[in-house]
Structure 1
Amino acid sequence: MMNRRQLLGASAGAAALISTKAAGQTSNMGLPEAAMMDTAATQAPVRPTTGPDYNPVVTLNGWTLPFRMNNGVKEFHLVAEPVEREMAEGMTAYLWGYNGQSTGPTIEAVEGDRVRIFVTNKLPEHTSVHWHGMILPSGMDGVSGLSHPGIPPGKTYVYEFDLIKSGTFMYHPHADEMVQMAMGMMGMFVVHPKDPTFRPVDRDFLIMLNAFDIDPGTYVPRIMEMTDFNLWTWNSRIFPDIDPLVVNQGDKVRVRVGNLTMTNHPIHMHGYDFKVSCTDGGWVPEAAQWPEVSIDIPVGAMRAYDFVADHVGDWAIHCHKSHHTMNAMGHDVPTFIGVDKRQATAKIRQVQPEYMPMGTAGMADMAEMAMPLPDNTIPMMAGWGPHGPLEMGGMFSVVKVRPGIAADDYSDPGWYENPPGTQAWEWTGELPELTRRDDARTLLTDRPKSAG
């Protein structure tokens, strides 16, 4: 749902409420109202009502920041502030973000627009905003101490520049960057082509990759972490509470993925191959687009890919680093595969009768157990599908392709029912003879004898 503030700002021509005064060259214009969002559900796209037409993006578990027009300039208002983000049902993180959420709202505009972005700092320390990947004046680049002084707590600064190229960009602080980004301060900035016939798609999804280290039972990320993160997220949300990508059969679809974590992420989508259509540097010429089923997203980079949704079904989409599809992992858990724990279990139960031995045959049983957890923690593997536990978490979702999905309908259609004969089944008949080697030595194939 959109709140009253968003509805006021949804139209490009809507007049926003005036609340305070800005300093500097725009002091006579006042501040656009700062729209806020207090839900983690994916918000429906807001379509343009003036200017060049474009198909707006859909930010998974996020929303687009409304703007107002002021003498031909698009004005936005970002508020940097402490926020509470529901990462999944039963777990909330105390983060820093923008306009009530982390990640911050998506900013959308059109190539050729002039934008004016008011940034109000409600953090306990100074901040800035860097417009990652954009071509703009040096003084607007947002590196605190280099581009301009840091924005002090309680103050509002103004960034104003022309959007000279289209593409997918990001925004984040370049002030106390290690702390502020580790606390969740980041967002996406999409600039649509001024020609609406350039590379159009029917559905355009946006995913920001980020990561946190939050100990079980706690709320605040450990900001000094460099490698051992335990929560891998899309738009600060973790599976099973990342919304699905809902698509009408036959739609042309674009998925844009930005990465502001500390490692690369190979994003893999099942059921399709796709073409890489855009990078941080710009659009890939159609003749140069290359096919993939996985695309690696480097640190500090963006990749977009396109596909036509021909194949109905429920198709997994996830990071292919296996630890990134799990939640709240402990990195010091020993491996017990193949270990006989019966004697140890009997002794442990003398002092802890509820002790449950796990891990001797893998970890899948953890997805089926309902064990007590610390407050504000979720299971390492969670989520249920139509045929049992999915044994996934973190960076995982489902692309749900169905016929008859309306253009602006992004609601979950439920699980796909496989037609008869198209689902794997148990075999109870006779098995073919099994061929097996008795040793692990490599065998050389027989070479044909020479004719001479």
Structure 2
Amino acid sequence: MNTRRHFLGAAAGLLAAGAASRHALAAAPEAASRDSAETATPRQPQAGRPYNPVVTLNGWSLPFRMHDGVKEFHLVAEPVVREIAPGMTAKLWGYNGSSPGPTIEAVEGDRVRIFVTNKLPEHTTVHWHGLILPNGMDGVGGLTQPQIKPGQTFVYEFVLKHPGTFMYHPHADEMVQMAMGAMGFFVVHPKNPRFMPVDRDYVFLINAYDIDPGSSVPRVNTMLDFNLWTWNSRAFPGIAPVLARTGERVRLRMGNLTMTNHPIHLHGHSFEVTGTDGGWVPKTARWPEVTVDIAVGQMRAIEFVADNPGDWALHCHKSHHTMNAMGHNVPTMIGVRQDDLAPRLQKLLPDYMGMGSSGMAEMGAMEMPLPDNTLPMMTGRGPYGPIEMGGMFTVLKVRDDLPRGSYADPGWYRMPPGTQAHATQAGIPPAATDATEPAPTPATLDVRKPAHDHQGH
């Protein structure tokens, strides 16, 4: 993590979002910056009230300092470069070097002071989505505050009245700035760290982009036809796995800032919805689920006991949302023979490949030429071959021997003998055999992209 200090000029140059206090004239704390897409290990707070920190998938939490009893943060809105998955980067807007920006963590009852420096090429604001606060701190440009012009720093200050799961994002040129990735998570922990305790507490934002193959800047005017469906601006196989030791209680906090709903489905376990936009759900109001639908602008927290060891899929159940670089006008070629057509077209287009006659599964295993900085539609490999997924997909890895507090990827799961599906001959009962042992593979889900020379194509 790198840090860079922003020295402010005269006190008159520091504008406040709402009524300024004498504290608003103090110099802003250092603005931490991080551009890595690795999941940062949670760090216990070094000051202020105690809390159990969250884990941001492929992200991190923003450091703070204590100043006269106030918890101070410094957000910097700025252009960033984000790796969507190995083989593709995007030029986005975010905060403190990353998109989404870092997670802000504080405690119920804290007074927070958040400095926001604008390094974007246009004005901005920050809205604290779901938080109950004074009107002048709500962050709606033109309505509750002047816009934060490029180069300016505003300060927001308020008391966190309610614990829960919240978000932050601009309320200025919102269509553009959110489409460019400007957003982040805000977690308010309960005063009592023993309230609804869990062993692992994960957070991620659901977001989406429309980036033409071969390019790196999102098309901000897209309304529905996005081609990259992401969690924390990462697409499978770039999304980090969710890890748990067998028997641990796990919480997933998810916020949806896309243009559509997302039914998030977990394999191998059932869960309960324990938190919404409005706060925690009483135990008497919960019921078991395996899929939770998260509407636009909503936050949901789910909890489950990781009591079923293995590698379990966690994904959006809209099938197109587990694909990358979707082509919305691609014709269906199932049943259409292309054997005689492909050789003729290859004389004109050497890279042409006839595909789709019997479905699209071959896309997951085939290495085919792609424009630079473009992800395959289906990608990622597991211990038994192509996983044939992309977009909003990752793996819950539950292990008996995962050390408590460890977030190191344990590799692939080895099924106990007799617990894995296997091939057999029709009409012949299968003999008792041990499960097929997976070939040694890296713990990460690798992207395979072909080496190619476009030669102008």
> Does TM, normalized by the shorter one, top 0.5?
yes
User: Under a length normalisation based on structure 2, what TM-score does the superposition of the two structures give?
Assistant: 0.89
Task: Please name the residue that 1:20 is paired with.
Answer: 8
Q: Please, which runs of 5 or more residues in structure 2 have no aligned partner?
A: 15-19, 430-457
Task: Please name the residue that 1:444 is paired with.
Answer: none
Partner Cα separation in structure 2 for residue 274 and residue 194 of structure 1: 25
Question: Could you tell me which of 322, 331, 334 is aligned with 1:325?
Answer: 322
Asked whether the 8 Å contact 1:201–1:252 carries over to 2, the reply is: yes
Once the two structures are TM-superposed, the CA of residue 418 in structure 1 deviates from its matched residue by 0.8
What secondary structure does 1:427 align onto? coil
Task: Please name the residue that 1:63 is paired with.
Answer: 60
Q: Please, which runs of 5 or more residues in structure 1 have no aligned partner?
A: 7-16, 433-452
Distance 1:134 1:353, change over 3 A: closer
Deviations 1:244-279 (A, max 9, x none): 001111111000010000000000000000010000
Name the amino acid aligned to 2:262: H
Task: Please name the residue that 1:104 is paired with.
Answer: 101
Name the amino acid aligned to 1:67: F
Structural mapping, 1:71-220, within 5 Å: 71-220=68-217
Deviations 1:164-217 (A, max 9, x none): 000000000000100111110000000000011110101000010000000001
Task: Please name the residue that 2:371 is paired with.
Answer: 374
Name the amino acid aligned to 2:308: H
User: Under a length normalisation based on structure 1, what TM-score does the superposition of the two structures give?
Assistant: 0.90
Partner Cα separation in structure 2 for residue 346 and residue 394 of structure 1: 32
Question: Could you tell me which of 282, 299, 311 is aligned with 2:279?
Answer: 282
Deviations 1:327-355 (A, max 9, x none): 01111110010112223224324434553
Name the amino acid aligned to 1:149: P
Partner Cα separation in structure 2 for residue 46 and residue 114 of structure 1: 21
Once the two structures are TM-superposed, the CA of residue 303 in structure 1 deviates from its matched residue by 0.5
Partner Cα separation in structure 2 for residue 31 and residue 203 of structure 1: 32
Once the two structures are TM-superposed, the CA of residue 49 in structure 1 deviates from its matched residue by 3.1
Partner Cα separation in structure 2 for residue 184 and residue 346 of structure 1: 42
Name the amino acid aligned to 2:386: P
In the alignment of these two chains, the number of paired residues is 420
Once the two structures are TM-superposed, the CA of residue 406 in structure 1 deviates from its matched residue by 2.5
Name the amino acid aligned to 1:430: G
Distance 1:317 1:53, change over 3 A: same
> Is 1:48 the counterpart of 2:45 in the alignment?
yes
> Is 1:425 the counterpart of 2:426 in the alignment?
no
Distance 1:135 1:64, change over 3 A: same
Deviations 1:284-343 (A, max 9, x none): 001111211000000000001000111110000000000000001111110010112223
Asked whether the 8 Å contact 1:270–1:317 carries over to 2, the reply is: yes
Partner Cα separation in structure 2 for residue 172 and residue 430 of structure 1: 59
> Is 1:222 the counterpart of 2:222 in the alignment?
no
Name the amino acid aligned to 1:360: S
Asked whether the 8 Å contact 1:212–1:232 carries over to 2, the reply is: yes
Partner Cα separation in structure 2 for residue 429 and residue 90 of structure 1: 42
What secondary structure does 1:241 align onto? coil
What secondary structure does 1:345 align onto? helix
Task: Please name the residue that 1:254 is paired with.
Answer: 251
Once the two structures are TM-superposed, the CA of residue 18 in structure 1 deviates from its matched residue by 7.3
Distance 1:236 1:49, change over 3 A: same
Task: Please name the residue that 1:416 is paired with.
Answer: 413
State the percentage of identical aligned residues: 65
Name the amino acid aligned to 1:163: L
Please tell me the root mean square deviation across aligned C-alpha atoms, in Å: 1.5
Asked whether the 8 Å contact 2:2–2:33 carries over to 1, the reply is: no
Partner Cα separation in structure 2 for residue 306 and residue 352 of structure 1: 52
Partner Cα separation in structure 2 for residue 95 and residue 49 of structure 1: 32
Asked whether the 8 Å contact 1:318–1:396 carries over to 2, the reply is: yes
Asked whether the 8 Å contact 2:24–2:155 carries over to 1, the reply is: no
Once the two structures are TM-superposed, the CA of residue 100 in structure 1 deviates from its matched residue by 0.5
Once the two structures are TM-superposed, the CA of residue 226 in structure 1 deviates from its matched residue by 0.1
Asked whether the 8 Å contact 1:52–1:196 carries over to 2, the reply is: no
